[in-house]
Amino acid sequence: MYSVEAPKNYGRSTLPIRFDFPTDWLAIDKLGGGIQYVDQRNGNKLYVLRASLPEGSNLKNCQQELVF
């Protein structure tokens, strides 16, 4: 279980999140604070990064390329 920073004026400071990946995806560097996974079949990697949205925007109205 991981947690992310909650929006301002929200009742809690963090929100719990959970990533469920296929069993052949191996979590790397959990202890170092990174969220990195590697597909053990072909070596593809997935990085989960933290980034701020532009001022005054949210996930509903920001440009799609900022979300992915």
Q: What angle do CA 21, 27, 48 make, to 5 degrees?
A: 75
- Closest C-alpha to 59, from 7, 3, 16, 1: 7
- Output the six-digit token pair for 22: 């296929």
**pTM of the predicted model, to two decimals?**
0.44
Which residues of the chain register pLDDT less than 70? 1-3, 19, 32-34, 63-68
Between CA 49 and CA 32 the distance in angstroms is 14
Q: How high is the pLDDT of residue 1?
A: 61
- Output the six-digit token pair for 26: 């191996």
Q: How high is the pLDDT of residue 43?
A: 92
Domain count for the chain? 1
Q: How high is the pLDDT of residue 42?
A: 94
Mean pLDDT of all residues in the chain?
Answer: 76
State the residue range of the domain holding 48.
1-68
Integer-rounded Cα Rg, in Å, for the chain is 15
